[in-house]
Amino acid sequence: MKASPLYRFRREFDDGAILEVVIWQVPEPVEGCTHPYKYRLFYGFPGRRIIGYDNERSKGDHRHTSGGEERYAFTGPEKLMDDFLADIARERSNL
């Protein structure tokens, strides 16, 4: 089985913020993970990440916020999207 895209989405907000989601199903787990997904989720401005989720090789599942980087308990693509969008909603409510 080859890697196959599950989600690919990009939205630009009126204030210049960007939301981008890329999730792939992969034949073998990415190093540091136990599930068959490779993903990167970004919210921020060009050159400035505010919120990010990814499973970079060897780092495993983690998220980036203004407080730094922390482990993320991945349970599936739907929950990943829910958590990411909730973080963005909180961030945008502070504008």
Question: pLDDT tens for residues 38-92?
Answer: 999 999 999 999 999 999 888 999 999 988 999 999 999 999 999 999 999 999 9
Instruction: Give the tokens for residue 86.
Output: 């909730």
Q: What integer pLDDT is reported at residue 94 of this predicted model?
A: 84
Cα angle, residue 12 at apex, residues 36 and 8 outer, rounded to 5°: 20
Q: Is the pLDDT of residue 12 over 80?
A: yes
pTM score, whole prediction: 0.92
Mean pLDDT, range 18-41, rounded to an integer: 97
In the chain, what are the domain boundaries? Answer: 4-93
At residue 52, φ and ψ (nearest 5 deg) are -150, 145
Residue type, 89: A
